Amino acid sequence: MANSAARRLNEEALGALNGRIETPAYDRRCLHPSIIHLGVGSFHRAHQAVYLDDLAAIGGEWGEKGVGLLPQDRGVAEALGLQQGLYTLLVRNAEADEARVVGSLLEYLFAPERPEAVLTALADASTRLVTMTITEGGYNVDERTGRFDASNKAVQADLKHPTRPATVFGYLTEALNRRRLAGIPPFSVLSCDNVHRNGHVIQTAVASFARMRDDTLANWIERYVSFPNCMVDRITPQTTDAERELVAREFGVADRWPVITEPFRQWVVEDVFNNGRPALEKVGVQMVADVLPYETMKIRLLNASHAAMGYLGYVAGYRTVEAVMADQNFRSFITCQMRDEVAPLLPPVPGIDLDVYQQTLIERFSNPKIGDQLARICMDGSAKVPKFLLPPLNDALNAGRPHRWLTLALAGWLRYLSGVDDQGREILIQDARAAELQSLASMARDDPRPLLGLRDIFGDLADREEFVTVLQATLRALCTHGVHVTLVRALGNSGS
Ligand code: CS2
């Protein structure tokens, strides 16, 4: 470990940590693990778990068990196992660094090794809410048709062996079936991913999977289980050794997997739960009847801006969000995309001034201390681009409204998929569909139609002739002149 004086983080160490780090102001043994969270990545540990930690500090009793479903969750499973679920949250911006130990995660179950323990926990009456962050691409619902993809191999395997599942759909359905047969009321299911109408999407997935198993079960789920929609927000980069060292050096804690994040956080939740819920409104969560305006605003302003700066920024040679934002041309580009193309088509958002919201985003993106990686933002483009970037682009096209910046952003993704940046350095494309995308993208400069023909990703864009011509010209400009020159020229033509 970086600092030999630092104390290894576990229950026993809590009382002995130095005064610079906050520790749980409550007895963790008094929390009930009424929530099971699937997919305990850094975002979850910077967001939901922290709200629960805040709530516990003022008397809340809802704690959680975390579950890792994927083989690659082993690392986090080991870290959290050794630390009894405790971890350090490091909140950074230009003004200050704050650290706290979060105590709301009571236990961690690594599903590939303990599938039955996960099912038992999910089926237990004490579990009242199941939440998840399984990534934007994790829902197996076709963006275009809105249908669950039954042909997926993992889904087929779970249908064959429903009592030994591996997918999130298999686990939830089997657990709900056990509860139904035992006369135990179901848990609510809350998706916390950046997916448009995330509650509706997970409901479609679970109900469709259940219907393939058994109609009675599917009907029971449709009737009794609620799937609230919610909007989540907190920028949470991947942890690197630099943060491990900082936490050890500055705060005296040897944490195997601390989480780094920004001060800002927001959570807007549709208030429909069938088996109770924590009093999240006491810790700043907005409980509302309709999440849609908030969610649309956040995905189209924050996530779409990330996508725009991510691909073009990476090709231009930048590696962090902060570095991109320090480039005045990129700053103008992102400002213009939000202000001129995205915001005018947003519905009114109760209680939010959209100009202030955009200004705050620019400030958040410019946070010089969190080192948010463009590689993190660029990964899984085939899942993110259709959810983040294409909806505002399609809306602008349909409304006959300006869309040159959104077009440039999309061209940026196609350029990025060529796998080399403007300096000739190789780009590692992290995407489940990398091979297919890269081979089609290599021809896109001459004809983008075959790539756009992946309709589950691009929808009907290939049919918009005028648009395809402009997209191709933009891509050619990027390939010929590079990102910087293309951006400067575009800004020069826009009068911005
Ligand atoms: C990012 C998000 O993954 C991405 O592409 O845009 O993780 C973003 O940082 C969060 O949604 C912020 O709430």
- Residue (of 340, 349, 289, 337) closest to 311 by Cα position: 337
In the numeric block, the tokens 């993704």 are attached to 413
Q: 217 alpha carbon to ligand 1 midpoint, in Å?
A: 35
Phi, psi (5° rounding) for residue 334? -65, -40
- Report the C-alpha gap between 114 and 137 in whole angstroms: 24
**Beta strand 230-233 pairing with 105-110:** unpaired
The closest-lying atom of ligand 1 relative to the alpha carbon of residue 233 is 13
**Ligand 1 pocket, mutate which of 261, 297, 306 (most atoms under 8 A from CB):** 306
Q: How far apart are the first and last CA of the chain?
A: 50
Question: Mean pLDDT in each 10-residue stretch from start to end of the chain (496 residues)?
Answer: 78 91 96 98 98 98 98 97 98 96 98 98 98 97 92 97 98 98 98 98 98 98 98 98 96 97 98 98 98 98 98 98 98 98 97 98 97 98 98 98 98 98 98 97 95 96 98 98 98 77
Packing angle between helix 404-416 and helix 304-316, nearest 10 degrees? 50
Strand partners, 66: 37, 108
pLDDT at 1: 44
Query: For residues 198-231, b (16+ Cβ closer than 10 Å) or e, as one string?
Result: bbbbbbbbbbbbbbbbeeebbebbeeebbbbbbb
In the numeric block, the tokens 């198993």 are attached to 213
The alpha carbons of the chain give a radius of gyration, in whole angstroms, of 23
pLDDT at 5: 84
- Report the C-alpha gap between 299 and 306 in whole angstroms: 10
> Residues, the chain, total?
496
Pocket-forming residues, ligand 1, beta carbon under 6 Å:
194, 233-235, 302-303, 306, 377, 384
DSSP-derived secondary structure for 316-377: HT--BHHHHHTSHHHHHHHHHIIIIIIGGGSPP-TT--HHHHHHHHHHHHT-SSS--BHHHH
Q: Check if the beta carbon of residue 226 is closer than 8 Å to that of residue 272.
A: yes
Q: 3 alpha carbon to ligand 1 midpoint, in Å?
A: 31
pLDDT at 3: 61
103 CB-side CA count, 13 A: 22
Closest residue (by CA) to atom 12 of ligand 1? 235
Query: For residues 271-296, b (16+ Cβ closer than 10 Å) or e, as one string?
Result: eebbbebbebeebebbbbeebbbbbb
- Report the C-alpha gap between 379 and 93 in whole angstroms: 24
